[in-house]
Amino acid sequence: MGRRRNRGRLIDGVVLLDKPLGISSNDALQKVKRIYNANKAGHTGALDPLATGMLPICLGEATKFSQYLLDSDKRYTVIAKLGQRTTTSDADGEIVSERPVNVTQAQIDEALDGFRGETMQVPSMYSALKYQGQPLYKYAREGVEVPRVARPINVFELNQLRFEGDELELDIHVSKGTYIRTICDDLGEVLGCGAHVSYLRRTQVANYPYERMVTLPQLEELLRQAELQEIEPKELLDPLLLPMDTAVSDLPEVNMSEVVASYILHGQAVQVSGAPLDGIVRLTMGDEATFIGLGQIDDAGLVAPKRLINRQEG
């Protein structure tokens, strides 16, 4: 019987990657996974190759909670190039129409106001949403148009940063599932000149701090430094990791003693004084508030296990 292949080390946490231009989110994920020699990794909402910026990458047990970052608010800086509409609503697509840019600041102000707040958005054909099991972009590449259902989105903030010539730079804070390319394309049509995304940078996911982002060259340099210093790479790399429970920091916390937690860890629901009446909660144990996973308040008002970490892998 052959020996089991080493699948990487057991490391848990979140890397706040500053994704570079020109590579897919999955390529970025694989590079980080290799640098950390992690046994398991997953990202939390893809960025197009054209886009840069914050891409939280969950390692190890943190992957169990990545869905909560997928569902979180996002913030972007985007430059809309006015006067040109493209097939993909960004600079990677083919130009389908060109129109003169005769737009006033008053027209821009009025147009932007129409996108603020709760609206319905029809996703682009060049999106990863699925129709009959296939991503929409696969149909688009074959020239096939399929029906898409408008979805509710919320634009919490939409601020103009700059308007020069044919460039309109915006800061935008949106709910999950919002397509910035579609907003720019729709904005161009409202203005009557067409528009597409020429630059897109994600500056925030949930409440993660911008200044904690790291780049691939920085991570590669730490690998080299570890080799030069003849130390384990994890000594330089692991301090950059954010705790895995930062992915669910917005959920209410229920703290319990180790004795009570032992019942939860064995799959049993428990009564905890001060717990919320319903919903999903973040479970911590002991005076140090060690994160053990997520719970759900059941119909009887008890705290039931929902998604627990494997503490042997911690």
How far is the first Cα of the chain from the last one, in angstroms, to the nearest whole number? Answer: 29
**Would you state the structure tokens that stand for residue 61, as one six-digit string?**
């047990």
Confidence of residue 144 (pLDDT cuts 50, 70, 90): confident
pLDDT in tens, 197-233: 999 999 999 999 999 999 999 999 999 999 999 999 9
Q: Are 14 and 212 in contact (CB under 8 A)?
A: no
Active-site positions?
48
Q: Which of 59, 57, 67 is nearest to 29 (CA)?
A: 57
CATH superfamily placement of domain 74-205: Pseudouridine synthase (3.30.2350.10)
Whole-number average pLDDT of the chain = 91
* b/e burial code for range 265-295 (CB count within 10 A of at least 16 → b): beeebbebeebeeeeebbbbbeeeebbbbbb
Cα angle 12, 15, 20; round to 5:
150
Q: Do domains 13-71+208-244 and 74-205 have the same CATH topology?
A: yes
Q: Averaged over 254-260, what is the pLDDT?
A: 94
Would you tell me which CATH number, out of the four given (2.30.130.10, 3.30.930.10, 3.40.605.10, 1.25.40.10), belongs to the domain 251-308?
2.30.130.10
CA 218 to chain centre: 21
Q: Which of 80, 122, 86 is nearest to 103 (CA)?
A: 80
Between these two residues, 119 and 133, which has the higher pLDDT value? 119
> What confidence score (pLDDT) does residue 3 get?
47
Kindly tell me if the per-residue pLDDT of 135 is higher than 80. Answer: no
Domain ranges of the chain: 13-71+208-244, 74-205, 251-308
pLDDT in tens, 4-46: 455 789 899 999 999 999 998 999 999 999 999 999 999 887 8
DSSP bridge pairs for 162: 169
CB count in 10 Å sphere of residue 264:
23
Q: What top-level class would CATH report for the domain 13-71+208-244?
A: alpha beta
> What confidence score (pLDDT) does residue 246 get?
92
CA distance 54 to 170: 17
Confidence of residue 140 (pLDDT cuts 50, 70, 90): confident
